[in-house]
A and B are shown apart, each in its own frame.
Chain A
Amino acid sequence: MEINKKDITLWLNGLAFVLALVATIVLSIANNTRGFSLVSGGEVVAYSVIAVVLIAVVVAMGALKGEQNPITTLAGVAAIFLMVFAFGTAILERIDLFGGLFSWDNLNSAGWGIFYMTVAAVVLYLASAVLLIVSSFRENAKA
């Protein structure tokens, strides 16, 4: 089956959606680890859920209308911004914890679990952002 340019853009955005969704789930689990819930957990969830919804809008409109327009562009840009803000906010609040893991608190198994989950979420979010950026450089199907 031949995959046209529109398909590729859709695939990229779709994959970005999946990655962002998985990242949001992973980060939420990390943020709600018993006894380690984030002070700013509500904000982080809000940023990440909105980002996922915005990517979904990008994907849906791309699938329905076949082209990128100012709405999808704005949604994609905002999603990228919010994903970075989501994991950035989480990391900021975790600096004490993560710093301790590499020095005095290296036996904190729950802390390491949060660290690895946070790193995984960051990687997934960044991958999602990169896919959105790549797709944004692509001409849409009708161009």
Chain B
Amino acid sequence: MKSKKTLWHGLTSISSLLLAVSIIGAQAMEASRSQLDLFFGTTSQILETDNDDDTLYTAYTPKKEFLNADGSGNSTAIIRGAIDLGRRESAEGSVLLKNNGALPLKKGSNVTLLGARSATNTINSGMGQKSQGPYITLEQALGDTQTHFDTTTVDKPIGTNFNFSDLKYGGNGVGAGAGYNVNKKVLEAYRAINTANKLGIQDRAGSDFDPKEPSLADLTAQDSSWQSSFASYGDAAIVVVGRPSGESKDYLKGSLKEELKNEEAGITEPLELSQNERDILNLATEKFDKVIVLVNTNSAIEIGDLKNNDKIDAILWIGHPGNYGFLGVADILCGNVSPSGGLYDIYATENLSAPAMMNMGKYEFTNADDLVSRSKKSRYYVIEAEGMYTGYRYYETRYYDSIVNPSSNAASTTGTYASKGNWNYADEVTYGFGYGLTYSELEYEIVGTPKFDYKPHEIYADVTVKVTNRGSVPTKANVQIYGQAPYTQYDKQNGVEKSAIQLLNYDKSDEVIPVGQSVEITVTCDFTYFASYDTNHVNPDGSKGTYIMDAGDYYLAVGNGAHDALNNVLAAQGYGEKDGMAGSGNADLAYKFVYNYNIGDKKIDDTTFAITKNNVSVKNWLETADWNYFKKEVTYLSRNDWSGTYPKEYTDMEIPDNMMSLLGGQYYEVQQNDDVSKFKWGVDSGLKFYDMVKADWDDPRWDKLVDQMTLEESIILAAAGGDALPAIPGVGLIEMQGTENAGNGVVYKLGATKTPNVPWAISDKDVNADWNGQVFPSAPVMASAFNPDLMKELGEFVANEALFLGVPILWGPGLNTHRHAYNGRNGEYYSEDPVLSGVCAMEFAIGAADYGLIAAPKHYAFNDQETQRNGVAPFLLEARAREIELRAFQIAMEATKYDKITGKDVGMLGLMTSFSKIGPVEVTCSVGMMDGILQQEWGFHGYAVTDISDDLDEFAAMCHAGCTGFDLRRLTNINIETLAKKLGNQIDTGEPLSVAHFENDATIQADLKASVKRTLWIIARSNIMNGYNSSTRIINQMTWWRGAYIAAITVTSVLTVGFAALYVFSVIKDKKEVA
């Protein structure tokens, strides 16, 4: 008989392989348990209590409207609320740019949708701020009297747990559309072509960009009779032009796909209308009496030709509306709602005319090989030579100077693109920042004189504006207050730059204003965000740099956007159309006042804003951000000499010797001989995390709780945060899961709660358990609403989503300012303006905090381009950094509005740092950014986390820890155990860096203590605290996937041993037979 030992041998081999795979798989699952729990709806850890006393589930509770009578969660109410809010955001955030009376278009009209994007709408970003789950298309929103919530969905088919049947209402219900009859034939042709072209609803920008707009011939080839359908749907053509946006890719100069370029027609840029887009627009104007254009983009498309084309009747900018925003767009088109938004960015005639465009893209140091760094992330730079003049600040200031000082070179030919001859605002700009129309006529009036409130280190001006509806349609109205500071001889001599106009604050009417009636809206302007930064000012203590206000004439002006406000200032200064003004001004809408506060015999007030609201003296912290700090090679744009300082492109820059070590990340040397005896680690004082619920920052018990943690536990908490914050059982801290996006919802399924014990938890068996909360519009739509209350409502809503899911931290919203239109990630950030951006983020975060969600605005700071974003070194002036990008964060972090309302320091609890550098230094490791400005000047003591993990960040941050205020973040808790052994790779040697390295470094140990305190402090203010009372314990749970891998390991182990035994038995048997 043939021996079976080879069979057993082979089977033993196979089972051993499977055993190894099972064990490795088990490790992978455990490392990703937090993500798996959310994906599968399982629970690996719970908080268990012995008594359900009154303290449980009371720290934060959802809004009553999302609960059933018995206190359980009502998923249908949540979804209905999301639809309603998304709809209102789009209705208020869409911006009417042009209307010759074609809009509103009456219900029952027969309309034809044209353009590839009319059939495949862009609803959100291709990466980053995405949408999830079912969404409403433009066709559905326009075409139905009730919309279908279950026919279109993002990425995947609708599962069994979407049941929106009771959300379908006719008439004016939550899903009511515009009620138009939509031409299906044309849409079907587009859909077929779009499918073949792989046109998506959430694409990204990119080099070699193709908008994938079919030619007329393509459409005819698809359906030879497509145009014949126009006759039946000829009341109006609604043409959609759009561009995607998304994380990681920019539009680049001249990057329109090569085959699509038309050099003769000057079509070379990705944000220009392509020839095919122009053709379909021309066809629309030929075939239809009414042509309405929807601009479906967050990146400023060049639409000057549409503005100037009389046959284009209306232009409505709609951004990326998210899952339900097209209902709001339909509300505007059919007249349910009058538009009331203002543009989030200036729309230039040609985007290349922005001086920032002279330097964007990929620039590599010529001597990058000399750098000692890893992964080539420090080889790239960008010189932001436009200085202070980004966005409208450039166009409006140059315009102002060309009017007020015609002999200056503001009107020279330098930097002209669309102008015929000398630089001319009307030619260079299509639509200004903040501009927007309503269906009515609004009359603005500044009521009385602004009320000033002068304090030692703060100044506020309350400006009350009366808005009267003089038209025939009820409408909401936004009120934008702008300021102009004088550009003085002192400024010119000391290199201080001033925008001729800047947004100071804004608000919106709470309700629609009935025809013929008025409302008064008071807007508080905080001069902290009006002051200029004087880098060269010598402070009393010998340091340099502070905020100043020049003595002189100032103006507060109201206007329909920045340009209108500036024209009102010009009118108040006696200028008119005869002086070459683009548009007219109204002197009554500008208030002039003379600033002489704290001036004395000086030319400037250098004391009022020299001390921050956190009572700290201001000084330069970012001098190394300026290339000229190392080597004087860069000229920054100055309004003192527009022509002579207009930026050139800085290519082939060589790293100066004195920059090399900073660029290589060699910031700090770990000390081995410090006296660390004062630090206590692992000293049990009997405190538990529950004891610290909402405890004050100054509560001395925090120090005791922090001392309870070992050095290793502290490092784990500091270094392994992020999507999942690790559990620290020693202090009773449960593992927590955050959520990533830019503030448009929580990116998890409603039924995948991490807190199944709370009374309102939505079960994974709920009819809507698969609904995903990431549904709201892109950030520019939210900003364009110019409605702080709506932003707060969004923050509250998203926090309620998080409360149902047990998610305590949101890595968002996006708060970088738009440096130029080509940043592929502009859809994730609100605006080019710091005040508009900062107020949006502040309102969102305050609304979120009210329901226990810690919002962490990102990316602090200077995510000015996606190209080489992982470590690109942007060089810029400190004044520019402080007055634009950082001002947005400052407004959010200081949250002064709510300090005043509550009477206490509110502040932000979270922040995410940028991938990029500030000058040659990683932002995460910049003492100035993380400590001097963030913590000292602004008083931030929340959780400042790095963007994902970057070993350069990791190394340097760990070695620079608390003096930079870092809290590290990794994607998961993978390698938590090994992290304690090695925290990163040393840049110079590549050798592991272990806990042992920190055992004798006093600076790092102090920093770790501070970091841990910050982290614990913010967690104690999150919805996680709902599950804690004095008897709370952390209990590990069995999950089905854990059971599966245990079974797999068990079975493969048994098989391996069994087959091996059989093999041995066969061998023995064979030997016996041979014997």
Contacts and interface: CB of A to CB of B under 8 A. Distances in A.
A106 B1067 contact: no
B6 interface: yes
Contact of B972 (A89, A95, A111, A138): A95
Contacts of B975: 39, 92-93
A24 B552 CA distance: 74
B19 A96 contact: no
A133 B13 contact: yes
A21 interface: no
Interface in B16-38: 16-17, 19-21, 23-24, 27-28, 31-32
A111 B6 contact: no
B27 A92 contact: yes
A103 B24 contact: no
B708 to A, nearest CB: 27
B985 A138 contact: no
A120 B362 CA distance: 31
Nearest to B975: A93
Question: Among the interface residues A74, A89, A107, A137, which one has the most CB atoms of the partner chain B within 10 A?
Answer: A107
A129 B16 CA distance: 10
B1053 to A, nearest CB: 11
Contact of B247 (A104, A111, A138, A140): A104
Contacts of A37: 985, 990, 992
Given A76-B13, A106-B248, A137-B7, A39 B981 contact: yes
B469 interface: no
B17 A133 contact: yes
Given A34-B374, A35-B375, A100-B948, A80 B13 contact: yes
Interface string A115-138: 000000000000001001100111
A84 B27 CA distance: 13
Contacts of A89: 24
B375 A110 contact: yes
B541 to A, nearest CB: 41
A100 to B, nearest CB: 7
Contacts of A11: none
Contacts of B960: none
Interface residues of A, number: 47
Interface string B238-269: 00000000011000000000000000000000
A28 interface: no
A3 to B, nearest CB: 18
B1067 A70 contact: yes
Interface string B928-972: 000000000000000000001101000000000000000000111
A92 B24 contact: yes
Given A37-B990, A96-B970, A143 B3 contact: yes
Contacts of B247: 104
Given A107-B870, A109-B375, A133-B17, A95 B31 contact: yes
B375 A81 contact: no
B9 interface: yes
Interface residues of B, number: 50
Contacts of B1056: 77
A63 B870 CA distance: 54
B127 interface: yes
B1051 to A, nearest CB: 16
A81 B971 CA distance: 29
A68 interface: yes
B868 interface: yes
A91 B985 CA distance: 18
Interface in B645-693: none
Contacts of A99: 971
Given A111-B375, A136-B13, A104 B948 contact: yes
A37 B3 CA distance: 48
Interface string A23-54: 00000000000111101100000000000000
Contacts of A84: 17, 20-21, 24
Nearest to A111: B375
Nearest to A41: B992
A129 B374 CA distance: 34
A73 B1059 CA distance: 11
A47 to B, nearest CB: 10
A88 B985 CA distance: 21
B180 interface: no
B16 A88 contact: no
A92 B31 contact: yes
Nearest to B982: A39
A137 B870 contact: no
Contacts of A91: 24
Contacts of A138: 6
B598 to A, nearest CB: 47
Question: Among the interface residues A37, A83, A89, which one has the most CB atoms of the partner chain B within 10 A?
Answer: A37
B16 A104 contact: no
A90 to B, nearest CB: 10
Nearest to A130: B17
Question: Among the interface residues B14, B27, B247, B972, which one has the most CB atoms of the partner chain A within 10 A?
Answer: B14
Interface in A47-70: 68-70
Contacts of A133: 10, 13-14, 17
Nearest to B373: A35
Nearest to A95: B974
Interface of B: 3, 6-7, 9-10, 12-14, 16-17, 19-21, 23-24, 27-28, 31-32, 127, 247-248, 373-377, 868, 870, 948-949, 951, 970-972, 974-975, 978-979, 981-982, 985, 987, 990, 992, 1056, 1060, 1063-1064, 1067
Closest 4 A/B residue pairs (Cβ): A35-B374, A88-B24, A84-B20, A137-B10
Given A36-B375, A80-B20, A104-B870, 8 more contacts: A35-B987, A73-B1060, A77-B12, A80-B17, A81-B16, A82-B20, A88-B21, A136-B13
22 contacts: A34-B374, A34-B990, A36-B951, A39-B978, A70-B1067, A73-B9, A77-B16, A77-B1056, A92-B974, A95-B972, A96-B948, A96-B949, A100-B971, A103-B127, A104-B948, A107-B870, A108-B376, A109-B375, A110-B374, A110-B375, A139-B6, A143-B6
